[in-house]
Structure 1
Amino acid sequence: MTPDADVIDPEVDPRATWAVDPQEVRRLAEHVVTSPGAGVHLTRSPLTDAPLAQVPLSTPEDVGSAVARVRLAQRLWARTPLRGRARVLLRVHDLVLDRQSEVLDLIQLESGKARASAYEEVADVALVARHYARGVERYLAPRRVRGLVPGLTGVTIHRHPVGVVGVVAPWNYPLTLALGDTLTALAAGNGVVVKPDLQTSLTTLWAVDLLLEAGLPEGLVQVVTGDGPGVGARLVDSVDHVVFTGSTATGRTVAESAGRRLVGATLELGGKNALYVADDAAPDIAAEGAVRACFANTGQLCVSVERIVLHEGVADAFLAAFVPRVRALRLGAGLDYSADVGSLTSAAQLERVQDHVEDALARGATVLTGAVHRPDVGPLFYEPTVLSDVPPDAVLSTEETFGPVVSVQRVRDDDDALAVINGSDHGLNASVWTADVARGRRLAVRIEAGTVNVNDGYTAVWGSTAAPMGGVKDSGLGRRHGAEGIWSTTWTQTVAVQRGTHGGWGLGRLYALPAERWTRVFTGALRVMKALGLR
């Protein structure tokens, strides 16, 4: 490795009070595909700004090498029986739970999140691993369907892995969005090249180490590091399917690149998610749920709530319960469960949050609580913030803030609420709170969002791994989880076998008739099949 100019030498520099053992970093860094002279990247913990790790960088040429290695390993993995793949996933399930303490520390140190939010990632990986381990045979086993001529035409649908899947993982959920998507692709029989965000590379490297411990064959998962325009673009241009989680703007670029190559892309992009409190909802219960929905992971969550829509009949009671709960949230940088809300992950995120809030206030918004940078807790901490009277032309009203900020708006009735919710260009997640579950279901299906939770913020949908998860409109395309998640990294092959051909009963006998006669016979057969209720 050739160090960058600003890299600290942990062996000689007294400033290097490293949060992670440099020897452990060097061991994990061996999983990065890199070249001599590619350089290293220094990361700092957002909790304290202390130096965290020096991670080797990859070049665009290294991406090609990584993909080639995976292609070789994937050919054998694709022939591994489904039960063999399932055994690896079940071992991952056990290992991530057994070793959660070390990865929780790592996630917190790299992302700055509170420990309870970090635990969501551990739980999610366990859920995904178990779901696809138990369901892979059902999802991928050859499936028979009715053929052209009942009894004579046998049709079987086979699913084959696409080959090499590229996973471009963001910094906000480094374990879930690197390892979770990798497990799905592996269950389908693919190999994977992962490009984590540089800020959270160690978590991805730890995950790869865990996969090998679980029995995954060497070479089947490779890690490349580096920037998006260079390394990321080369990855998108080299693999057979792309799984990208990030901004809508970058997602469009990824989709264009994948489209030119006619390969698939799963894109989970931005959200401007809304939570509606109906007039029959219990204010205390809705307020408690809204706090979790808005401020989990410091608001740096694609499916978190940034807009609260309140029926005017419950608005005052809800705010009386909600705002004190928000003020009571504990900020902290400890590697334990003492804090409710952690740090923002980068200076860029802090600047974005501050810009959105200041713009809203300049346009007449009112602070109900928060709107304060808290450097006394840590360099990137920002108080959970609730704003009212945010005008529609404020940036906060239309763009994803991705921080601990939520706006509140009053509406007259359900129809008014739906107009507000659906007025966004995004459509990722939504939440409805009501004492009448049937009413909640009716409202949910009228919301233009890929997922809707009734009487929950986001956990109910996200944790239901048998169901697809994804967005509409500017929030992306494709789905993770469920059948759609594993099917997205496969291609289908239909094999039709015509029986009776050699006995004179096949389609050849029909075609041997004069055209006018066989078309008349076939028309009669079509009428009979409809009368019999056949599909």
Structure 2
Amino acid sequence: MFFNIINSGLRIGASTATITDPRTRKPLYEVPVASTQDLDDAVKSARLAFSSWKHVPIDQRQKVLLELADKLDEHRCKIHQVLAKETGKSDLLANIEIDHTLKFLRFNASQELPDEIQHEDAMLKIVSTYRPIGVVGAICPWNFPLVLAAAKIAAALVTGNCIIVKPSPFTPCATLKFAELAISVLPPGVLQALNGDNDLGRLITIHPGIDKVTFTGSTATGRLVAANAAKTLKRVTLELGGNDASIVCPDVDVKIVAQKIAAGVFFHSGQMCVATKRVYVHRDIFTEFRDAFVEAVRNIEIDVSGKLPTTFSPMQNELQYNIVKSLIDDSRKNGYTLLRGDPSDEERLGFFIHPVVVDQPPEDSKVIQVEQFGPIIPLSTWSSEVDVIDRVNRVDTGLGSCVWAKDIGIAQRVARQLEVGTVWINSAEIPDPRGYFSGWKQSGIGGEWGKEGLRSYCHIQTIQLYK
């Protein structure tokens, strides 16, 4: 059974929602839906808890995070089963997500924000101090539900905040179970979790008892979150969509790089905010790269059971499945060359879509201009460094990008001209808890992770001491 977690209590709802198995499209779990009263009760509990939690010494808060990590590790099998089922991930992918969740918890358990002396002379000392904001509302996505929730939880708790987590209604189960595990570790009200639909998210963004909202999701929803939060001047962190590019320079080892990019593109079937969604390959190596890339994609196997060690998945939900199918249909309708693609997808069990590679569609095509968030990828050529940088930057989002080159000087020169929050050089996108993660343009406001990310959960208070 699944419960909303309020004030260290297990609470069922007056109504329930049915979670669908992405591998079979059949009903999977029944999960309680939180009411407005549940949210009010959670906020009241969090505000009471905050009055004491903010005074708990940092070393004790760090210790709690380590205990949370140990508790998750201890109950790994239980969480793994739920996580794999609701997301459609293979056993391998679910284990990877749990491993990363543990890394985020343990990294934040090693962090603190001590006072910083900004200036000192014979007359004056100026000190920056970092104070917790209060009650945080965390609205989380469906693609990596456990690790992205835990990253917010860990940062909020170690900086002295209390947090109410709302997982995606598509994938609430592992997060609710994790919050249930935390009952034995945390004081009541410090960490709570509520399942609900978009309206519950709206209520979180306007609730006067919530001091900050951290949201990971689509740009369209992010705009609504920002507008609602402005009504009470809440602090806001938004990590939104991206249309990330990989730029492949002519000096690379083509076969190795093609395989690495294919693995990154189709990791969890492209359902990753920073996954490469456009590949730009230098024209001198394009044909060789395209052949190697398609060969790598050809080796991707659809496994309905989830037991094979694959990083390929079904679409997590029907909405996203239909979005990707519409992009494939648009590419066919416009006569683009599809190097891979399985017309029998509609007959498959579950929300599986075989990987599709689109060969050199025009720059204004939907498959290039729209964030696919699924297993369809366009390959394009470039010859001028200035031109490819302009094409990569021409979209209205800027979350991440990759640059592939043996010449590290060239790679860094290109990377520093890209209008994105993170650039990976000679690697597919691998988010790391030690690195600040932020979006430029319409990919977000503010950022999280790393020591810099902790500051987004704090008021910075300046103390000016005249001697």
Between 1:336-345 and 1:276-285, the stretch displaced more is 336-345
Contact 1:143 1:158 in 2 (8 A): yes
* Unpaired segments ≥5 residues, structure 2: none
Q: Measure the CA separation in 2 of the matches of 1:470 and 1:409.
A: 26
Change (3 A) 1:375 1:97: farther
- 1:275-310 deviations in Å (ceiling 9; x for gaps): 111100111111121112201111111000111101
Report SS of the residue matched to 2:437.
coil
Q: Which amino acid aligns with 2:456?
A: S
Q: Measure the CA separation in 2 of the matches of 1:373 and 1:393.
A: 28
Q: Which residue of 1 aligns with 2:196?
A: 226
Contact 1:113 1:344 in 2 (8 A): no
Runs of 4+ with deviation above 4 angstroms = 28-37
* Alignment pair present for 1:192 and 2:163: yes
Q: How big is the shift at 1:335? A: 4.1
Contact 2:13 2:33 in 1 (8 A): no
Q: Which residue of 2 aligns with 1:178?
A: 149
Q: Which amino acid aligns with 1:220?
A: V
Q: Which residue of 2 aligns with 1:46?
A: 22
* Alignment pair present for 1:475 and 2:431: no
Contact 1:155 1:496 in 2 (8 A): yes
Q: Measure the CA separation in 2 of the matches of 1:35 and 1:122.
A: 25
Q: Which residue of 1 aligns with 2:129?
A: 158
Q: Measure the CA separation in 2 of the matches of 1:97 and 1:394.
A: 45
Q: Measure the CA separation in 1 of the matches of 2:11 and 2:91.
A: 35
Q: Which residue of 2 aligns with 1:415?
A: 386
Larger radius of gyration: 1
Q: Which amino acid aligns with 1:391?
A: P
- 1:106-162 deviations in Å (ceiling 9; x for gaps): 2120011233332332222222222221122xxx22222314xx1232232221111
Q: Measure the CA separation in 2 of the matches of 1:227 and 1:37.
A: 13
* Alignment pair present for 1:133 and 2:109: yes
Q: Measure the CA separation in 2 of the matches of 1:361 and 1:83.
A: 58
Between 1:78-87 and 1:481-490, the stretch displaced more is 481-490
The structure with higher relative contact order (CA 8 Å, sep 6+) is 2
Match runs of 1:317-336 below 5 Å? 317-336=288-307
Report SS of the residue matched to 2:288.
helix
Report SS of the residue matched to 2:436.
coil
* Alignment pair present for 1:260 and 2:231: yes
Contact 2:20 2:29 in 1 (8 A): yes
* Alignment pair present for 1:491 and 2:467: no
Q: Which residue of 2 aligns with 1:390?
A: 361
Q: How big is the shift at 1:374? A: 3.1
Change (3 A) 1:36 1:115: closer
Between 1:285-294 and 1:76-85, the stretch displaced more is 285-294
Match runs of 1:22-171 below 5 Å? 25-26=1-2, 28-29=3-4, 38-136=14-112, 140-147=113-120, 150-171=121-142
Change (3 A) 1:377 1:94: farther
Q: Measure the CA separation in 1 of the matches of 2:91 and 2:381.
A: 34
* Alignment pair present for 1:350 and 2:321: yes
Q: How big is the shift at 1:353? A: 0.5
* Unpaired segments ≥5 residues, structure 1: 1-24, 500-535
Q: Measure the CA separation in 1 of the matches of 2:416 and 2:13.
A: 54
Q: Measure the CA separation in 1 of the matches of 2:317 and 2:300.
A: 21
Q: How big is the shift at 1:401? A: 1.2
Q: Which amino acid aligns with 1:219?
A: G
Q: Measure the CA separation in 2 of the matches of 1:410 and 1:212.
A: 53
Q: Measure the CA separation in 1 of the matches of 2:271 and 2:413.
A: 29
Q: Which amino acid aligns with 2:277?
A: E
* Alignment pair present for 1:235 and 2:235: no
**Two-structure CA RMSD over aligned residues (Å):** 1.9
Q: How big is the shift at 1:35? A: 8.1
Match runs of 1:232-311 below 5 Å? 232-238=201-207, 239-311=210-282
Change (3 A) 1:373 1:236: farther
Between 1:425-434 and 1:34-43, the stretch displaced more is 34-43
Contact 2:4 2:193 in 1 (8 A): no
Q: Measure the CA separation in 2 of the matches of 1:393 and 1:145.
A: 48
More strand by share: 2
Q: Measure the CA separation in 1 of the matches of 2:34 and 2:180.
A: 18
Contact 1:113 1:298 in 2 (8 A): no
Q: Measure the CA separation in 2 of the matches of 1:83 and 1:378.
A: 50
Q: Measure the CA separation in 1 of the matches of 2:236 and 2:191.
A: 19
Contact 2:111 2:451 in 1 (8 A): no
Q: Measure the CA separation in 2 of the matches of 1:71 and 1:87.
A: 22
Q: Which of 205, 228, 251 lines up with 2:176 in the alignment?
A: 205
Change (3 A) 1:472 1:30: closer
- 1:363-417 deviations in Å (ceiling 9; x for gaps): 1211011254535652210001111132334322211111011001111132222
Q: Which amino acid aligns with 2:436?
A: P
Report SS of the residue matched to 1:171.
coil
Report SS of the residue matched to 2:179.
helix
Report SS of the residue matched to 2:170.
helix
User: How much identity, in percent, do the aligned residues show?
Assistant: 30
Q: Measure the CA separation in 1 of the matches of 2:410 and 2:76.
A: 40
Q: Measure the CA separation in 2 of the matches of 1:79 and 1:234.
A: 28
Q: Measure the CA separation in 1 of the matches of 2:62 and 2:362.
A: 52
Q: Which amino acid aligns with 1:496?
A: Q
Q: Measure the CA separation in 1 of the matches of 2:190 and 2:286.
A: 53
